[in-house]
Amino acid sequence: MNPSVYGEKPATGIPVAPEPWSTGICHCSSDTTTWCITCWCPCITFGQIAEIVDKGTTSSTTSAALYFLIGTFTGCACMYSCFYRTKMRKQFNLQGSTCGDCMLHFCCERRALRQEYRELQHRGFDMAIGWQENKESENKGIAMAPKVQEGMFRDGHSVGPIRF
């Protein structure tokens, strides 16, 4: 398992200083699609983030629906999403604090979501395919013995057995 992708650090017994985020909160990304989706429908971006951070235990659809419902009925979806930022920050040993996470989501919800989205992309996740497919695509990188065709072939045609 790749520690940089899944946030699991090798146990050495030596404390490791938190890493900075790969991009700043005000980083203007050239990804206008993500910008638009997060601006007009942040529940979709949040759902994708939550699925990866939860390592597939919660689907992006479920997380997006919860975010939408909490936002609709309480107006405080930021309180739900800030806990995922804290979870992600601890999972990947990123700089920050729980209080800072909550303040950031309260004041700059959409910017915080876009930063989290970019961070997961930077760590090798394809956000469009979700946790399970990311896990499967990583496992495809495992070296396996090549499949060998039986018999002899020349230019795609069977040569047949060699006789002496």
Q: Is the pLDDT of residue 62 over 70?
A: yes
Mean pLDDT of the region 48-68: 96
Is 70 within the bounds of a domain? yes
Token pair, residue 68, equals 């939408």
- The pTM assigned to this predicted structure is 0.76
1: pLDDT confidence band, cut at 50, 70 and 90? very low
- With contact defined as beta carbons under 8 Å apart, do 112 and 85 qualify? yes
Assess if residue 150 is contained within a domain: no
Say if 164 falls within a structural domain.
no
In a domain, 141, yes or no: no
Domain annotation covers residue 106 = yes
Tell me, yes or no, whether 138 lies in a domain: no
Number of domains, the chain:
1
Rounded to a whole number, what is the distance in angstroms from the first to the last CA of the chain?
Answer: 50
Q: Print the domain residue range for 67.
A: 31-125
Residue 3 lies in a domain: no
pLDDT band at 131 (very low <50, low <70, confident <90, very high): very high
Q: Are strands 153-154 and 157-158 parallel, antiparallel or unpaired?
A: antiparallel
Percent of the chain with pLDDT over 70: 76
Digit-coded pLDDT (tens) for 23-49: 999 887 678 888 899 999 999 999 999
Is residue 148 in a domain?
no
Q: How confident is the model at residue 163 (pLDDT cuts 50, 70, 90)?
A: low
